[in-house]
Amino acid sequence: MNNKLSSSMPRRAFLKQSGTIAAMSALSGIVLPHVHAAENNTIQLALVGCGGRGTGAVVDALSVKYGPMKLVAMADVFDAQLKSSYNSLKKAFPSLVEVSGEKQFVGFDGYKYAMDSLRAGDIVILTTPCAFRWVHFSYAVAKGLNVFMEKPLTPDGPSSRRMLKLAEAAKVKNLKVGVGLNSRHARHLQQLAERIHDGAIGDIILERGYRMHGPVAFFQSLPKPQGISDLMYQIQRFHSFIWASGGNYNDFYIHIIDHLGWMKNAWPVKAQALGGRHYRMSPDGISYVDQNFDTYSVEYTYGDGTKFFFDGRCMTGCNDNFSSYIHGTKGSAIVSKTGDCGAPSMIFKGQSPKGADRVWVSEVAKGEENPYQNEWNDLVDAIRNDKTYNEVERGVIVSTVCSMGRMAAHTGQEITYEEMLNCEHEMAPGVDKITADSPAPLMPDRHGKYPVPQPGIVTDREY
pLDDT digits (tens, 9 = 90+) for 213-244: 999 999 999 999 999 999 999 999 999 999 99
Whole-number pLDDT of residue 29: 34
Cis peptide before 152 (omega within 30 of 0): yes
What's the average model confidence in pLDDT over 14-18? Answer: 39
Of 9-23, 293-307, 336-350, least confident by mean pLDDT is 9-23
What's the average model confidence in pLDDT over 1-10? Answer: 38
Helix, coil or strand: residue 271: strand
Whole-number pLDDT of residue 282: 83
pTM of the model: 0.91
Whole-number pLDDT of residue 143: 98
User: What is 12-183+372-390's CATH number?
Assistant: 3.40.50.720
Q: Are 35 and 175 in contact (CB under 8 A)?
A: yes
Whole-number pLDDT of residue 7: 34
Q: For a pLDDT cut of 70, what percent of the chain falls above it?
A: 92
pLDDT digits (tens, 9 = 90+) for 400-410: 999 999 999 99
Q: Which residue in 195, 137, 189 sits closest to 166, CA to CA?
A: 137
For residue 359, give Cα distances in angstroms to 29, 174, 223, 224.
57, 42, 52, 54
pLDDT digits (tens, 9 = 90+) for 248-289: 999 999 999 999 999 999 999 999 999 999 988 888 888 999
Q: Is there a shared CATH topology between the 12-183+372-390 domain and the 187-369+401-421 domain?
A: no
Domain ranges of the chain: 12-183+372-390, 187-369+401-421
Across 304-339, b (16+ Cβ under 10 Å) vs e yields eebebebbbbbeeeeeeebbbbbbbeebbbbbbbee
Q: How many CB atoms lie within 10 A of CB 32?
A: 12
Q: Which residue in 372, 374, 348, 350 sits closest to 361, CA to CA?
A: 348
User: How far is C-alpha 233 from the geometric centre of its chain's CA atoms?
Assistant: 21
Q: For a pLDDT cut of 90, what percent of the chain falls above it?
A: 89
Helix, coil or strand: residue 388: coil
Of 33-37, 151-155, 215-219, 444-448, least confident by mean pLDDT is 33-37
pLDDT tier, 28 (very low <50, low <70, confident <90, very high otherwise): very low
Considering the domain delimited by 187-369+401-421, tell me its CATH architecture.
2-Layer Sandwich (3.30)
pLDDT at 23 over 50: no
Q: Which residue in 272, 15, 340 sits closest to 160, CA to CA?
A: 15
pLDDT tier, 425 (very low <50, low <70, confident <90, very high otherwise): very high
Distance separating alpha carbons of residues 419 and 438, to the nearest angstrom:
30
